[in-house]
C-alpha cells in the first residue's frame, strides 16, 4: 500500500511525504502516527507535526512494451 502524510513545516507550509509498500495507524495511547514496513515501525509523527494521512492508490504502469504495442496494433 501507499501512504501519503501531510506534514506541518515552518512558516505554515504543508509538505507531502509518500511511503510505498507500507501500512499506517495512529497509536490510540500516544496519538502518534506510525508507518510500518513488514511489521517494523519505519517512521513516527507526533500529532503536532502532521495535518492528515491517507492511503492512496499506487499509480499503475501505463506504458506498454514495444512488443505489446506491436501486438495491440495488429489486433493480436
pLDDT at 76: 42
Query: In this predicted model, what pLDDT tens digit does every residue of 2-40 receive, in sequence order?
Result: 999 999 998 989 999 999 999 999 999 999 999 999 999
Q: Which segments of 1-76 are extended strands (E)?
A: 2-9, 13-20, 23-26, 33-37, 40-45, 50-56
Residue that has been written with the C-alpha cell 511489521 in this structure: 39
User: What pTM was estimated for this model as a whole?
Assistant: 0.72
Query: In this predicted model, what pLDDT tens digit does every residue of 29-76 receive, in sequence order?
Result: 999 999 999 999 999 999 999 999 999 986 664 555 666 555 555 544
Residue that has been written with the C-alpha cell 502518534 in this structure: 32
Amino acid at each position: 500500500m501507499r501512504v501519503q502524510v501531510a506534514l506541518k513545516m515552518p512558516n505554515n507550509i504543508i509538505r507531502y511525504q509518500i511511503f510505498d509498500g507500507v501500512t499506517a495507524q495512529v497509536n490510540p495511547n500516544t496519538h502518534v502516527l506510525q508507518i510500518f514496513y513488514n511489521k517494523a515501525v519505519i517512521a513516527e509523527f507526533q500529532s503536532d507535526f502532521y495535518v492528515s494521512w491517507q492511503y492512496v492508490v499506487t499509480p499503475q504502469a501505463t506504458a506498454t512494451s514495444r512488443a505489446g504495442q506491436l501486438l495491440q496494433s495488429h489486433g493480436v
